[in-house]
Structure 1
């Protein structure tokens, strides 16, 4: 697939973002609750730049967030995947889904596939998740994935005055969990 791989899970298709995903990205960024821990509410002009950044990271660094497509409906429901921009506190698999997709296990399902990709294809030795302490649903997802709190770090620019709890695990721990 141009720009990156296509991954499938039982219920999801994960693919690099495309221009047609812009409306979904805008819906995610317009919802105060869904956008709270992923940069906050943003106007379409800012969302366009973020979409282009995510899509361009596939070319520049060989990894980035996937668009998450629900197989049953063909609808864009969020973005998740391997993320490691310059200055980031580690090799992250992160997620952000529309509220309509919450509580259905999609974040865990998609993140599991992205973590397989990060370990097996990208060769990452550690996977982290940058989560604010108040983001209890994401902490639960991280824990379902077998990650544990490793440390707290100040978020890099432009995320002023935010401290992230870093959840994560080694590639060996992830492989052992997958086998088990």
Structure 2
């Protein structure tokens, strides 16, 4: 069913979300700890709308979150990738990982591939990550990617009440780090 780009890392495959990914997606979205900084836990029906939104953005924008798949097992790991809905404060590479796969370095591995994709394929001159200041795990990942805290930004409705900072870097900074 995948009709878009497929990225490979040593341990992961990144591709468009497919119907068989939904159970893992819904389980991640139902976890209160995982979703604490991603809009809150969702019931299965709300997770379906989120899933369809991310898949649909591929058709509307030409990019969106990838489903991240563990190559060794075929298991759904999370969703990571380029993201910029209408009114978003910048071109973002964002992430969310199923709790069963947290702490294994998968978010970093996939985020590096997505940063490369955003800069080299999409041609983005700048990449941000919108992160709640209390989300220390995401801040650590942003720092590991070489991004810096640029200060508070405002998300569009219905997310305008969330407190987030834009962590980011220019494409040239990313390329220099990768060299």
CA distances 1:103-151 after superposition (whole Å, capped 9, x unpaired): 1111111000000000011000000000000100000000000000012
Secondary structure at 2:166 match in 1: strand
Matches within 5 A, 1:1-180: 2-179=2-179
Secondary structure at 2:81 match in 1: strand
- Unpaired segments of 5 or more residues in structure 1? none
State the TM-score, normalized to the length of structure 1. 0.96
Moved over 3 A (4+): none
Secondary structure at 1:123 match in 2: coil
Cα distance between partner residues in 1 of 2:128 and 2:15: 21
State the TM-score, normalized to the length of structure 2. 0.97
- Unpaired segments of 5 or more residues in structure 2? none
Secondary structure at 2:107 match in 1: helix
Cα distance between partner residues in 2 of 1:3 and 1:38: 27
